[in-house]
Chains A and B, each alone.
Chain A
Amino acid sequence: MTADRNVAAHNHTHEHAHEIEPVPGEIVRVSCVRHSYDDGTSVHLCGLDFVATRGQRIAVLGPNGAGKTTMLYHILGLLRAQEGIVRVFGVDPSEEWPAIRKRIGVVLQNVDEQILAPTVADDVGFSPRQYGLSEAEVALRVDRALALMGIEELRDRVPHNLSGGEKRKVAMAGALVMEPELLVLDEPFEGLDPAARTMMGKLLRELAAGGTTVVMSTHDIDSVPEMADYAYVMGPDGHIALSGTPAEVFSSADILAAGNIRPPVLAELFMRLRQSDPDAPEPALGVAEAAEALLKWRG
């Protein structure tokens, strides 16, 4: 598969977006959305359509202020598109949120504001309680979510006294407790130590293998090859300029540079090797794969 470049043919108008047929397994589509904030800031998420299908792990990359969080808020129905199309599970989330809310798990950037209950167990059980599940079912789901995140020992702690990384894990457990079909994560790796990142990467892979779609915005470029199997790159003006697998996306140096995005260290290393020697191996974004490719190339 080759990375889709942003070309004029991909620029959709509002009218055109209405005609778009869903692709098989489509969970999310964001098409040429415009939103103006009260302070006059306008975000226009145009260019390529953002499409997430079942079981995909998608990273949304872009410089500060590009509109990554705005896009996630549209997906969550927190913002109403003034122009363009937002479809989640086939409906407009800002209109029909109650119909789809149980199918979506969320971790927002500021987890301090996301944590609502006085203990970790209460907080993780917040959503199932609001959805009217029985206390036995809530307890079962809380146990499962805490175990999934490896934070059983935090169960009775007060979340506001936890470290940033622990709070993020609690928020993640709260997002997973309803076993969502779509997981929306805003900067999910912030404050996590390397071991926790590895654990999170493994968990996201397992969830995606089970059919959960993961949409995450991140500045942590080095984590993308491990955490995502597809990426969208936004330009500084909110234009969705590029999409593809992490290897494809990180080989488009010009578009990344325009978006103020520095590729992962390994991608940059292979790019430079290929600039000086056309016979250098294809970029490998994992350390093991890179070591193997370099050893093979050396001799």
Chain B
Amino acid sequence: MHIGAVDQAATLGTSWLHRSWPIAKLVAFALVLAAAMVTWNLLVLLGIVVLLSAAIVSSRVKPGLAFTLAAYPAFFAAVFALASAPDVLSGFVIVLKALAAGLAAVTVALTTPYPQIFAPVQRVVPGIVGDALLMTYRSTFLLLDKFANLMTAVRLRSGVSVGQPVRAARATTQALGGLLLYSFDLSQRDYDIMRVRGYQDRLRVAVHPSTSRAADAVLVATTLAALATSLLWRIAADSLNPYSWLVPIPALFALLAALVSSRRKS
């Protein structure tokens, strides 16, 4: 996945989410993450995922890009669920939790230039954690690019095709090994480059001001409502579970509205 596509989506977009205050988006992200962590109710999680899908559609970023990026944590969660979930329902819950977290992160990443994300984060976390988060973010995309290039080289040089799964798996494993070694080198080089360009301890940026207080309020209020719902269904699960089917409905309406609005605008 090209880092340029993420930067392009985050920088050139003009949707209400792009115009929202970065700090409001980070607060909303934290609330959604908490909501997904708190609940073990499949329908509540489904509601959160649908709500985040509505946010992605309304932000007019490429859905393919957003859902592909969000699928990475879901894929690893699926592997974990297959290995350790006690039943099918729990397995789905694990995957949906990861998908919700992934979608929330992707929504922020695709609507906010990354310095705007990390500058406020680095103010509240210890320096080394801030550095690590920033480096991890940059390295992830550079490594994904590198991995795609490596796989192309592997296909061209070893003649691996879809019909040869064992050979393909062996070649992929070798590519991953090479990628791991490259990642150590990359992180050092990345830090060196930032250092020679003036980085010291924390990223200094001019944080974008809020352009729409109403949009910020809607964002925080909606995610607060999602967290409240998760908490309610966690605390009073026995009495509320029969009504769980109601939870995804408002999210579905939001998704429908976002779809209609984006179709009209395009």
A and B associate in one complex: yes
**B204 contacts A114, CB within 8 Å?**
no
Which B residues lie within 8 Å of A97 (CB)? 195
Which B residues lie within 8 Å of A128 (CB)? 198
CB of B189 closer than 8 Å to a CB of A? yes
**B7 contacts A158, CB within 8 Å?**
yes
Which B residues lie within 8 Å of A130 (CB)? 197-200, 203-204
For chain B, the count of residues having a C-beta within 8 Å of the partner chain is 29
CB of A132 closer than 8 Å to a CB of B? yes
A112, chain B: closest CB distance, angstroms: 8
**Complex alpha-carbon distance, A122 and B208, angstroms:** 13
CB of B206 closer than 8 Å to a CB of A? yes
- Pick the contact of B197 from A116, A122, A161 — CB < 8 Å? A116
CB of B210 closer than 8 Å to a CB of A? no
User: Which size class do A's interface residues fall under?
Assistant: 20 to 34
The 0/1 profile, CB within 8 Å of A marked 1, for residues 182-193 of chain B is: 000010011011
CB of A160 closer than 8 Å to a CB of B? yes
**A113 contacts B198, CB within 8 Å?**
no
**Complex alpha-carbon distance, A199 and B114, angstroms:** 33
**Complex alpha-carbon distance, A122 and B194, angstroms:** 14
Asked if A118 meets B193 with Cβ closer than 8 Å, knowing A129-B206, A158-B12, A161-B4, the reply is no
CB of B8 closer than 8 Å to a CB of A? yes
**B11 contacts A119, CB within 8 Å?**
yes
CB of A297 closer than 8 Å to a CB of B? no
**A132 contacts B204, CB within 8 Å?**
yes
Asked if A160 meets B3 with Cβ closer than 8 Å, knowing A118-B115, A126-B197, A131-B198, the reply is yes
**Complex alpha-carbon distance, A126 and B204, angstroms:** 8
Chain B binding surface, main DSSP class: helix
CB of A108 closer than 8 Å to a CB of B? yes
Chain A binding surface, main DSSP class: helix
- Pick the contact of B113 from A78, A122, A160, A174 — CB < 8 Å? A122
A76, chain B: closest CB distance, angstroms: 5
Which B residues lie within 8 Å of A116 (CB)? 138, 193-194, 197
- Choose, from A58-66, A98-106, A244-252, the stretch at the interface: A98-106
**B10 contacts A118, CB within 8 Å?**
yes
Which B residues lie within 8 Å of A113 (CB)? 142, 186, 189-190, 193
Which B residues lie within 8 Å of A4 (CB)? none
Which A residues lie within 8 Å of B186 (CB)? 113
CB of B83 closer than 8 Å to a CB of A? no
**A174 contacts B2, CB within 8 Å?**
no
Which B residues lie within 8 Å of A114 (CB)? 193, 197
**Complex alpha-carbon distance, A98 and B194, angstroms:** 13
CB of A11 closer than 8 Å to a CB of B? no
Asked if A160 meets B7 with Cβ closer than 8 Å, knowing A113-B190, A129-B204, A132-B204, the reply is yes
**A158 contacts B8, CB within 8 Å?**
yes
CB of B205 closer than 8 Å to a CB of A? yes
**Complex alpha-carbon distance, A128 and B204, angstroms:** 9
CB of B88 closer than 8 Å to a CB of A? no
A to B CB contacts below 8 Å, 30 in the list:
A78-B192, A78-B196, A101-B198, A102-B198, A106-B196, A108-B193, A113-B186, A113-B189, A116-B194, A118-B7, A118-B113, A119-B7, A119-B11, A119-B113, A126-B197, A126-B198, A129-B198, A129-B204, A129-B205, A129-B206, A130-B200, A130-B204, A132-B204, A135-B206, A138-B206, A156-B12, A158-B8, A158-B11, A161-B4, A161-B8
Additional 7 contacts, C-beta under 8 A, given A118-B7, A118-B115, A156-B12:
A101-B196, A102-B198, A116-B193, A119-B7, A135-B206, A138-B206, A160-B3
Interface residues of A (CB under 8 A from B): 76, 78, 97-98, 101-102, 104, 106, 108, 113-114, 116-119, 122, 126-132, 135, 138, 156, 158-161, 174, 178
